[in-house]
Amino acid sequence: MHDTLKEKLSGAFRLYQQLHPQATPWRITSGRRSLAQQAAEMAAMTPEQLRGLYCSGGVPSYVEELIQNMPLTPEKALHILANRTEGYISKHLFGAALDLAPSSIQDHQLFQNIIAQLGLRLLDERQNGIQCFHIADNSIPITIVRG
């Protein structure tokens, strides 16, 4: 996890604890990933999940290629991602994103407010069938990872 994101998340938890002093630390379910780990995650997704999570700004050709080659193995997904023409896939690849278990957070509204207050981006991936809150720090410059 990038130091900036780590500091912001720690600050968010301290603010949260001010109103919920008995809160236990939030459970991080995923942080920085290698391209191979990202490929394995994407290989296990449905076409709807891939479109819902990776196509907010249009459909990258690598997403279409992943869908066209389903069912996918992690190795086939890695080959597609490593040879893509578009650059960006996920902030997880350079430590600018992490996933938190929603079940580890009692007060979701307070959590959302604090995350926004600290300039972090929150995506509730449960709407795509994935049980996590995806937290990204958009202040960290995008790094293209190809291998």
Residue extents of the structural domains in the chain? 1-33+96-147, 34-89
Specify the pLDDT at position 7: 92
Instruction: Name which of 7, 28, 50, 34 is nearest 105 in CA terms.
Output: 28
Vertex 52: Cα angle to 147 and 42 (nearest 5): 30
Mean pLDDT by 10 residues, the chain (147 residues): 88 96 95 96 97 91 96 97 89 95 95 95 95 95 86
Whole-structure pTM value? 0.90
Specify the pLDDT at position 140: 92
Q: Which residues pair with residue 134 across a beta bridge?
A: 99, 123
Residue 116 structure tokens: 């926004």
Specify the CATH class of 1-33+96-147 in words: alpha beta
